[in-house]
């Protein structure tokens, strides 16, 4: 499990850093070329759009790992620890179900796009490559939500106050 975590952490971070740096650089170059040299890279906007899409879905997995997704936990914070644990488990289970639905519908979209054989307008790459961001990101999020659920359950079974500590640190469920 630690090796998988190590691998996923590094892949997510490398893809995130690369996509943000490269998209920022490309947008900067495009602005300079357009306004100073009156020249435009016809493909840059499309590359930036697809890099940001990939970053959003990979970044969502990173946010799950860091427990940084937005949540409304005002009511949950004031519950007794036993009920708080139940609510955290329910929230993680619902998130897992959502990820499974997202993977399924994302793969359905990918197969539809593959069937039609569409390509991107400027780059000419198969359109299923940008669409793959949805099931790939959802799969990474699913793995992270399962890890969190097992970590919380392991803490409960061993008698630790994992959920209570999480709430006290201000981390959202």
75 or 161: whose pLDDT is higher? 75
Q: Where are the domains of the chain?
A: 2-168
Summarised one tens digit per residue, pLDDT across range 2-27 is 888 889 899 999 999 999 999 999 99
- Please give the model's pTM, rounded to 2 decimal places: 0.84
Single out the residue of 27, 21, 162, 146 nearest to residue 81, CA to CA: 162
In three-state secondary structure terms, 169 is: coil
The number of beta carbons lying within 10 Å of the beta carbon of residue 64 is 21
Summarised one tens digit per residue, pLDDT across range 41-65 is 999 999 999 999 999 999 999 999 9
Q: How high is the pLDDT of residue 67?
A: 85
């Amino acid at each position: 499990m630690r090796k998988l975590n190590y691998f996923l952490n590094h892949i997510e971070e490398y893809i995130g850093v690369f996509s943000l740096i490269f998209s920022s650089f490309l947008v900067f170059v495009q602005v300079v070329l357009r306004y100073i040299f009156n020249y435009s890279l016809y493909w840059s906007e499309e590359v930036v759009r697809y890099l940001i899409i990939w970053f959003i879905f990979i970044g969502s997995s990173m946010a799950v790992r860091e427990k940084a997704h937005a949540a409304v936990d005002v009511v949950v914070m004031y519950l007794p620890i036993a009920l708080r644990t139940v609510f955290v488990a329910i929230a993680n289970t619902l998130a897992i179900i959502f990820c499974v639905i997202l993977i399924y519908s994302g793969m359905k979209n990918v197969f539809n796009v593959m069937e039609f054989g569409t390509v991107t307008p400027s780059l000419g790459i198969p359109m299923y490559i940008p669409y793959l961001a949805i099931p790939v990101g959802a799969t990474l999020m699913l793995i992270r939500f399962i890890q969190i659920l097992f970590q919380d359950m392991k803490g409960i079974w061993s008698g630790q106050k994992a959920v209570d500590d999480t709430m006290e640190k201000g981390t959202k469920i």
